[in-house]
Structure 1
Amino acid sequence: MPNWTLKQLESFVWVAKLGSFRATAERLNTTQPNISVRISQLEAVLGVRLFHRDSGSVALTPIGHSLLGHAERVLVASEEFSQQSIRSDQQIGILRLGVAELIAQTWLRDYMLDLRQVFPNVDVELRVDLTINLREELVSRALDLCLLNGPISNFNITNVDLGSVPYLWVASPRLALAGSDIATLAAHTILTHARNTRHFVELSAHFRELWEKPMRIVPSSSLSACLQMTIDGLGIAPLPRTVVEKPLAAGELVEIPYHWKPSALVFTASFAHTPASFLLRRSAELASDRAARHH
């Protein structure tokens, strides 16, 4: 009687995670018929039915559910065994990397150089986007690793700490602000992050609670655009410290010592830990090391 193979187990785990033979084929760089054959062969070897298949939909059977954890542990053990003999420079493939804009504007370049040095034969597909979008892409497995405003609360996701960045209130010196109280701030356009961010929610709630008169809060999905508009004197803004350090040093911005600030941004390197991947785990560790040096 033939034995099962690691490729069959890998296909089983990915079909269970993605709920699709087609998506699994794309993820494993093969064809949908190959995935179907692997699953059928595995079912034949085990003598059980792992999936219900109905009009294109795929769902685990009860026995499939019970075997999934065992398959994942076998793949983890296989990955750990393989990495004892495979050097980083022998790793090949594609790393689909999602990055929040703040990191893209600060230490992403150095991190990309770190990746190239450790994994010279791995190609990086880069996407810079809002954290809310990156989260969705990571959970759906469209991205492999994300450096974002975390952590992500999902039992399939591992989060590696990348530190935090506090906010500073800043303005162009051309505005010549006469004070730093709430009335002074409310008299100006306040520039902020996009509406679907925690930053915008906190900012709106703060002024709604303490200021009853009309005021203007202008959100933007682009951190760089928000920074430039602040430098140009189009409004004032609470911005991450790492973004405003150079403009402050150059005299393009001045700090406003307002008593309240949005919560500091906490960043994580987040990736799905099943199936196990040395590439993802080591890439997250490299991000943590680079973030620590930057901060």
Structure 2
Amino acid sequence: MISSHLTLKQLEALVCVVDMGSFRKAAAVLGTTQPNISNRITKLETDLSIVLMHRDAGSVRLTARGEKLVSAARQVLRSAEVFWEAAARQDLIVDRLRLGVTELIACTWLHPFLRRFRAAYPSVSVELEVGLSAEISKKFSAGDIDLALQPEPFPSKGGGSLALGVYDYIWVASPDHLDEIGVPGDLDDILRSPVLTHGKHTLASGGLLKQAERRNLPVNQIVYSNSLASCVPMAVDGMGTALLPRALVKEQLNSAALVLIKCDWHPEPLRFFARFHKDRAARFVEVAASFAAEEAEKHE
């Protein structure tokens, strides 16, 4: 018979301290106090009669036995999730999903994804961060994000990932704006009037600047924005020609509020992935990644 001394909360505390690197951060993630986390691990060490980790000035170092037992603890926790799923009681999985997404996902299929995840895991709260891909990559690498929905490139391709599709860029403008400037024939024509696009630090804008430099074209009419979504109403209002992902303006194209413009240059398309830490992610994180892949496919 399995000893009743061992609890899932003890294993959860052990794994979380290792993943977060400190008792304080683990307590914040698990929604409890640092002394509580310390007590759980101390009790586990006492029951096992071994030392799992060394505490050094706020950081932790696993012992050799601790390394082996952390791996085993992850398997137990994942098996517990499988057990709840088999019982159709995912509502008993109480946790949180730290989700990082870029603006394009937030403006397209994020809401149906969140509704689906909420229906599957009603007791798992979602902490959402919408930001630039570079910022999401940093937090993902630091372990502050469990699931990142973002485009390439990212610093490391390690861990788990699922493809979310390819999003191409297009040139669009309002009918009123085209009446004013005429229909552009190529990039040279487009850059003679205001152009609305993402910030300078993005791949698309960087590619546009390089292409303009290569052709010796003016760039003083390019209007950069840290928000892709804000470019859409500006384009509809006739404030300029916009370089945007097609998925972001699908509704405006269908309603003819914006018109597709042919051009002899486009940025490289965005290739999106759902990224998670495969070696340590809870099972519900992997399930969330699969939900994201399915919702992305529906949106294509």
> What is the TM-score with the length of structure 1 in the denominator?
0.84
CA contact (8 A) 1:83 1:278 kept: no
Q: Report the residue type matching 1:267 in the other structure.
A: F
What residue ranges of structure 1 are gaps of 5+ in the alignment? none
The change in CA–CA distance for 1:115 and 1:268 in structure 2 (over 3 A counts) is same
1:57 Cα offset (Å): 3.0
1:166 Cα offset (Å): 0.9
Q: What value does the CA root-mean-square deviation take over the aligned residues?
A: 3.0
**Residue 231 of structure 2 aligns with which residue?**
226
1:34 Cα offset (Å): 2.0
Post-superposition CA distance 1:204-231 (Å, at most 9, x none): 2222222254533332111121122222
CA contact (8 A) 2:195 2:242 kept: yes
* Residue correspondence of structure 1 range 128-277 to structure 2 within 5 A: 128-150=130-152, 154=156, 157-176=159-178, 177-211=182-216, 213=218, 215-277=220-282
Q: Report the residue type matching 2:222 in the other structure.
A: I
Higher deviation after alignment, 230-239 or 212-221: 212-221
Higher deviation after alignment, 247-256 or 209-218: 209-218
**Residue 13 of structure 2 aligns with which residue?**
11
Q: How many residues of Structure 1 are paired with residues of Structure 2 in the alignment?
A: 295
Q: Report the residue type matching 2:216 in the other structure.
A: W
The change in CA–CA distance for 1:204 and 1:108 in structure 2 (over 3 A counts) is same
What residue ranges of structure 2 are gaps of 5+ in the alignment? none
1:114 equivalent to 2:128? Answer no
The CA distance in 2 between the partners of 1:243 and 1:193, in whole Å, is 12
The CA distance in 2 between the partners of 1:111 and 1:240, in whole Å, is 20
SS in 1 for 2:268: coil
The CA distance in 2 between the partners of 1:45 and 1:152, in whole Å, is 43
Q: Report the residue type matching 1:135 in the other structure.
A: S
The CA distance in 2 between the partners of 1:48 and 1:216, in whole Å, is 67
1:23 Cα offset (Å): 0.6
SS in 1 for 2:55: strand
Post-superposition CA distance 1:23-68 (Å, at most 9, x none): 1111122221122223334444555544343332333456545654
The CA distance in 2 between the partners of 1:192 and 1:141, in whole Å, is 31
Sequence identity (%): 38
Higher deviation after alignment, 54-63 or 31-40: 54-63
The CA distance in 2 between the partners of 1:155 and 1:49, in whole Å, is 34
The CA distance in 2 between the partners of 1:116 and 1:3, in whole Å, is 33
**Residue 31 of structure 2 aligns with which residue?**
29
The CA distance in 2 between the partners of 1:43 and 1:152, in whole Å, is 39
CA contact (8 A) 1:152 1:159 kept: no
The CA distance in 1 between the partners of 2:37 and 2:51, in whole Å, is 15
1:197 Cα offset (Å): 2.2
The CA distance in 1 between the partners of 2:51 and 2:222, in whole Å, is 57
1:76 Cα offset (Å): 3.5
The CA distance in 2 between the partners of 1:155 and 1:262, in whole Å, is 22
1:290 equivalent to 2:292? Answer no
SS in 1 for 2:144: coil
CA contact (8 A) 2:177 2:239 kept: no
Counterpart pick for 2:74 among 55, 72, 75 = 72
